[in-house]
């Protein structure tokens, strides 16, 4: 009978330890989500300020404004990879993106064109080459 009682206690301790670990992980996840929400709100404030200045006829300051964190997180992984490579490279052809991501050029071309249709990227033809870029990062340099 003593062995049965000690087994219950050990199981209860394991469950309590597991529950404590789950609670700790949830707390950490909530902290990360709060950070993402704060970053997203800041980006939205910056976007609103820039839109107000644009409406008033004042030109944009040289500020690299990128799509907000939440919209990037909402993208499928394949599109997010392409977008993140372009943040790093700023301007690239589908072939250059493919070399960076180690995927086929056709896959990167399709992903980049889909991002263009979604409004995350712009594309520009220079001779035979088509360059994809994030609008704000290229405009800030011109």
56 versus 78: the higher-pLDDT residue is 78
Count of domains for the chain: 2
Determine the length of the chain.
Answer: 142
Phi, psi (rounded to 5 degrees) for 11: -65, -40
pLDDT digits (tens, 9 = 90+) for 5-29: 555 676 777 888 888 999 999 999 8
pLDDT digits (tens, 9 = 90+) for 98-132: 999 999 999 999 999 998 888 888 999 999 999 99
- Which of 61, 84, 109 is the last residue in one of the domains? 61
Q: Positive or negative CA dihedral for 113, 128, 88, 52?
A: negative
Q: Are residues 75 and 137 in the same domain?
A: yes
Asked if 57 and 78 sit in the same domain, the reply is: no
What SS3 string covers 65-105? CCCCHHHHHHCCHHHHHHHHHHHHHCEECHHHHHHHHCCCH
C-alpha closest to that of 87 among 104, 100, 70? 100
């Amino acid at each position: 009978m003593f062995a049965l009682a000690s087994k219950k206690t050990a199981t209860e301790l394991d469950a309590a330890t597991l529950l404590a670990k789950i609670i700790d992980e949830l707390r950490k996840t909530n902290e990360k989500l709060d950070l993402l929400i704060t970053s997203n709100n800041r980006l939205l404030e910056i976007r609103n300020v820039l839109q107000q200045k644009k409406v008033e006829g004042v030109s944009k300051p040289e500020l690299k404004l990128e799509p907000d964190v939440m919209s990037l997180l909402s993208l499928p992984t394949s599109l997010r990879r392409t977008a993140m490579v372009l943040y790093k490279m700023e301007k690239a052809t589908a072939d250059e993106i493919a070399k960076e991501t180690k995927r086929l050029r056709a896959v990167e071309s399709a992903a980049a064109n889909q991002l263009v249709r979604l409004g995350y990227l712009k594309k520009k033809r220079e001779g035979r080459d088509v360059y994809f870029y994030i609008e704000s990062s290229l405009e800030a340099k011109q």
